[in-house]
Every structure is written in C-alpha cells, then in structure tokens.
Chain A
Amino acid sequence: MSETIRRDQRRDPRREWIARNRLHPEHASVIAALGGTGGGAAAVSEWLGPNGVVRKNPRAIGFIGPNGVKRIDRSGLQQGEQSTATATAARDSRRTVTIDQPAFLVAVVPDLTGGRLSGHDKDLLGLARRLADADAEQPGAVVAILFGEHKGEGGGELKEQALGEAGIDRVVQLDDELYAGFAPETRLAALSAVERVMAPRFWLLPDSPLGGADLGRRLALRLGERAATGVWQVEADNEAALGWRCTARGAAGSLDIQRPLSRVALALAECAEPVDETRHAAEHLSLATSIPTTLSRIEDLGQVAVDPAGVALAEAEFILSGGNGVKEWDAFHHAAKVLGATEGASRVAVDDGFMARDRQVGATGTWVTARVYMAVGISGAIQHLQGIQRCDKVVAINLDPGCDMIKRADLAVIGDSTQILAALVAMVEQQRGGQRDAA
C-alpha cells in the first residue's frame, strides 16, 4: 500500500516550481494538469499505515496561495489550487431533499409579485418547512400554488431550481388568463379545488397588501376557519389541536395574541428564517379536477395611469434617478415623463439645485424599494448604494466603467447619458406610436 502511495506522490520539482510561479508561461497548463490529478493526490495527505497508525504527508497539506506562498487552512475546507471550480461547488453543497410519500401537505400561496418570490414569500416558505419537517420520521411536503408565471433568474432549469431552493416540494402552476388582475373569486375557486383534491393540513399566506392578506381571509372564511392573522412567531405545543401555537399581532399592532395555530394562517414578514441549507424537488403537479368557472360580480377594468410624480419616492416602482453626470436636465425630465418613471436624484444633483430635496435617494434622503432603478450619471457613493439596497433591478448609464454603480448594476451601459436617454425615449415613443396605429 505504501508502495503505491509513494509512486503516486513522486514529485516533479520542475512542475511544482512552475505551479508556484504564476508568471511562468506554462503555469496555467501545469495548474490544470495538477487540478485533474491533484484532487486524488491531495486526498492522500493522510492514510492508515501498515501498523494501524495514521500517517501524514505534511507536504501534501495546504495549497499555494495567490502570491505563490504555501498556505495551510486548518479549518479543513481548503481544496488547494482548484479554488474557483470547487468554491462554487462548495457553496452549492445544499442537501438535496426529495419527499416521495409525504405524511401531510402544507399549502403556501406566495404573492409572487412581478413573477418572483419576494423576501416575505421566502420567509413564509421557511415557516412552511418548519411545520412540514417537525417530525423527521414523517415529513410533510410543501405545496406552492403559483398564480401567474414564475420568472426566475436565468431560464428553464435555473427557474425550477429557484423554487426548489426556496423549499418547495410540489408546485401547482395556475397561469391562466383568468387569474390575472383582481380576480379574487376565480382564485378562491381554484384554491377550493386544491383543498378538495389535496386537503393540506395547513394553508399559509403572506399577510401583505400585495394580495395575500385579501386572498387568505377570503380562503379562511370559505373553509370556515378562524384564521390566525399577523402571525410572527410559531412554536410547537402539544396541547393545541394542530400541535402548534402562534403569536399574532392584533388590534392595529398593539396586542400580541397567543393562540393555537389555525389551519389557515396569515404570517408577517420575518416569521421564520428562509430555507438555505436544503434543496427541494419543486415537482410540478397538475390538478386532477377541473376548476368550476364562477360568474364574477367584480369586473376588473385594469390599472389606471397614475401621475408618477405624485407617487411617494419610497414606494415608487420605477425610478429614473439623475446625478452629476446629467447635463441636459430638460431632456432628463422629458425622459422621466415618457417612461412613466418617478424622478429621483443623487445628493450632488440636489445640492447643485437641479432637483428638489425630497427627491434625494440615499442614506440622507429616501431609502427606495423600486423594482427597477435607473441611475443616470451616478457614480454610486456608498450612501447612495445604501439607499438603493432593496431595489430589484438596477440599470446604470455612466461614462466611467470603473465606478461603484456599475458594479452594483444588473445592466450597465457605458456612454453619454444624454444620447442614450434620447435614443431610449425615441424607441419608446416609436413603439407606443406603432401600437396606437395598430389599435
């Protein structure tokens, strides 16, 4: 045995020297060769000797650091030179969990605003996992009922992965036109059908103004349950009927109500930690029954155009923000009008008197929560970046490709902001004109 090890570990000083020397022309190929075979070699830095004693090869421990110096990481995590490849693999070391025969079901109806799971949705799924996994012998499965299309990052498989990583075992996708807009009666009919077919033990919905609060209360009354609303803490309790006790906010947030958890629960944000250690199957199910069509007495005439300037900056959905790099302010205001965006500004633009003080975004101004934040000519001071922490998508237009805003942005265009905005305005106007002609 020791013979084979010695043969495996025969040293090639020249190769080692090249591996240490980052500037050597053959460095990359040698590293690649070591990476291919090196995984095995690194693993045998410790072995059981012929007399049953653990033998160690101190030279096989550690790795060559970025500066060509040998480093030893005692935490046991280090994997030598294969850092880039294995680091991502290590980060993805979440346990894959598949629940084939669930003892019961926990149904979750996330808001899915803009087609994505919000932070509130993920917290709720974390709570659902707690309820489902309480008994390790008989785990339950989490069923998510999604109204509308799910838009994950990337396409296809990655999208499904996003659902699985949030802790969803089964998915019921209902992306019919019927459920779009304000359609509480049709949505309720669909949820009732799910109740008939699957009979979940718990129904969890977010207590949020985005739709969960409304739908959850309707569902509770339809199922004849007295829903626990504003739940922010859940604990196991053997005396309760369903085995859980919850703490809920009542009386406009001035009371804490301790009560047994009901079948339908509406939970606040941060009610539980989101799932991050496991990955679930997110297997698609189709409903076996047909959903009865209901004649709705509520007709949705669609959203009304709102004056974007009247929307509070903190809750605006789409913000066009200007900074020091904006030279043509008239063109900027025109662009905001055409795009239907609320206007924001960086501190410099406000100090220079181009924008009002109440439009300032950042630590000293407003902390915004926009879904799309477009930063024009803003380099991205740390105070400004703090203010846009909670924005979903950031678009940056800037002349300087090295600034911090570009690092934060999901889409960055390097170029003259005036010209790019003018081109964008022309494009939007052209599209709108085309649509009007067609209509």
Chain B
Amino acid sequence: MRPDQLQQGQEQKKQGIDVAVLVSIGRHPTTGRARRAEQDARGLELALAMEAELPGTRISVLHAGPQNDDGEAALRGYLGMGLESMTLLEQPEGSDAILALVEHLAATSPQLVITGARAERGEGSGLLPYALAEHLGWPLVNSLASVEKVENGVVTLLQALPRGQRRRLKVRLPAIISVDEAAPAARQSAFGPARRATFSVTPTAPEADSELAQWHLAPARKRPKRLKIVKAASARDRFKAAASKAEGKGGQVLTDVTPEQGAEAIYKLLKEEEVLR
C-alpha cells in the first residue's frame, strides 16, 4: 500500500459511519414488566463496540411509540448504556411503526441500521427489519454475531449459524443488520447517566394498525405434547411397539477388517456427511 493510500485509509477509519439503532420496549418474561429488550440491547452493545473500535462513529438511537412514564423508564435502560440522548418518534399506541421508521431513516440516511430480530411485545413477528429492508431497498443480514471491520463503504460481518457455526459476509453499505441471542451480551445500564440523558421527541403522522386490532390476542397456552401414535392394526403389533426396544435400522457392521479399511469406511461416511472441513 502506498503512503497516500494508507493516509486515506486511516482517514476513512477516523471518519467512522452513521449507525442507527432501533430499540423497543421489552417485557420481562416472568414478571411482565417493561424493560429494555434483550435483543435490542445487544444491538446497541454492538454499535457501542463499533464506536470504540472506529472513532468518529455516530450512534443515533430510535424508538417509535407513545410517550408515557412506563415506556420512558424502560427506554432509559438503553440510555444508561452510555448515551446522551435518543430520538422518540411519537405515535399513539397501536400504530404501525414501520412507516414512521422508514420515513425517518430515509430522511436521516444512516449507513448502518441495527435492530433486534423481534419485539417482546405486540405481534413480535420479526417482520420489521425485513419490512425496512424492502421499503428502503437495502440489503439485510440476520442473526449477526459481530462486526469485524468497516472500510470503503463495505462492512465485513460474522453471521451466527445454528450449531455454533459462524459465516463471514461482506455487505455493501447502507445495510440493515438484525441481532439475536448470538451477539455479545449487553453491558449493564447505569442509573445516573440514564437519568441525565434526554429524549428528543418528534411527532409523526399516526397510521393505525387496523389488522392487528382485529386479531384475538391471549396469553400463550402451553402447546399440547405430541403423542407417540402407533398405527398398528393388530394387538400383536401394538404390543410389540409398546414393549420392545427400538431396534436400529440395521446399519453396516464391519468385522474382521484391518484398521485401515475400517478407517476408510468411516472417512467415507464423514465426507458424505460433510462434517470434515
């Protein structure tokens, strides 16, 4: 790399990017009290880690919802993580947050939007990040584990896969990333800074969510446990199904083989299953 390129690269690094973090009001799973939402807090943690790594990164925290005491106490949970203010897009209870957020994001045009995968209240369908991506036309990456680096408008990410695996992705900015339990845990919220932080309230045109209002919501019932259904026509078969040990499907058994032959058979199976890397 030539010195002037290096200089440019460093400047780019110093410049940082605009990050918008979308937060919602969570719900404590046992008490049902309002709190900072788990996944959104992890998203904010990710943004704060980016700020520490990439000086000059500007974080703006957004929440769309009504302004009331209960909600404010929960939202201050995010502010106590080390923020001075957050933007509250004010709208009445039961409004659709998507349109307000799209308008705001289109106007402020941050380079990276971080959001939790799904809300802990209301419908909680996890459709919001996808709706934003579709409306804004930005790429979306779900289930983020960490942000590795940002350079020249391209961000390198680690995506969490099931079974503890990770995948590296390169995404062109602007982009939306959604965060679930795989991201690093959020830091504690400090009470003093949370009290001192301020809200800047922006009223928005309310758009009632009429569909949700028609649905019937009830506390979750326990799902019925699936029974083991034995479809046997005769008493003998039913008895066999109930009493006998489950037998294997009769796998391949290699006896009297040299260790090399045995190892080869195992190696073939591992290759077929694609577990060897």
Which residues of A approach B to under 8 Å, CB–CB? 73, 75-78, 114, 151, 181-182, 184-185, 209-210, 213-214, 217-218, 220-222, 226-227, 229-230, 232, 248-259, 270, 273, 276-277, 296-306, 310-312, 315-318, 339-341, 371-372, 374, 392-395, 397, 401, 406-416, 419-424, 426-428, 431
Contact = CB atoms under 8 A, between A and B. Distances in A.
A407 B166 CA distance: 35
Contact of A299 (B122, B133, B170): B170
Nearest to B271: A431
5 contacts: A257-B216, A312-B164, A394-B251, A410-B251, A412-B254
Interface string B130-153: 110110000111110000000000
A424 B272 CA distance: 15
Contacts of A306: 164-166
A229 B125 contact: yes
Q: Is the interface of A mostly helix, strand, loop or mixed?
A: mixed
Given A185-B139, A318-B275, A427-B264, A73 B163 contact: no
B13 to A, nearest CB: 21
A221 B255 contact: no
Nearest to B273: A372
A276 B172 CA distance: 46
Contacts of A227: 125, 127
A312 B237 CA distance: 40
Contacts of A407: 247-248
A411 B265 contact: yes
> Which residue, of A210, A222, A226, A298, has the highest number of chain B Cβ atoms within 10 A?
A298
A221 B123 CA distance: 16
Contact of A182 (B27, B159, B266): B159
B166 A250 contact: no
B25 to A, nearest CB: 11
Contact of A257 (B215, B231, B256, B274): B215
Top 9 A-B residue pairs of the complex, sorted by shortest distance between their CB atoms: A423-B263, A75-B234, A413-B262, A311-B164, A419-B259, A251-B124, A424-B263, A410-B251, A318-B275
Contact of A339 (B125, B161, B276): B276
Contacts, number: 241
Interface string B237-269: 100000000011101111111011011111101
Contact of B165 (A151, A317, A409, A421): A317
Contact of A298 (B119, B139, B235, B254): B139
Given A297-B175, A371-B273, A220 B130 contact: yes
A255 B167 contact: no
Nearest to B268: A411
A413 B257 contact: yes
B166 A304 contact: yes
A222 B143 CA distance: 20
Given A254-B29, A299-B169, A413-B266, A229 B126 contact: yes
B236 A75 contact: yes
Contacts of B217: 250, 255-258
Interface stretch (B85-93, B187-195, B219-227): B219-227
Nearest to A319: B275
Nearest to B141: A298
A405 to B, nearest CB: 10
Contacts of B262: 397, 413, 415, 420, 423
Contact of B125 (A230, A315, A371, A420): A230
A354 to B, nearest CB: 22
A414 B254 contact: yes
Given A77-B233, A221-B134, A305-B277, A254 B27 contact: yes
A371 B265 CA distance: 17
Nearest to B218: A256
Contacts of B158: 304
A426 B134 CA distance: 51
Contacts of A273: 229
Contacts of A310: 164
B63 interface: no
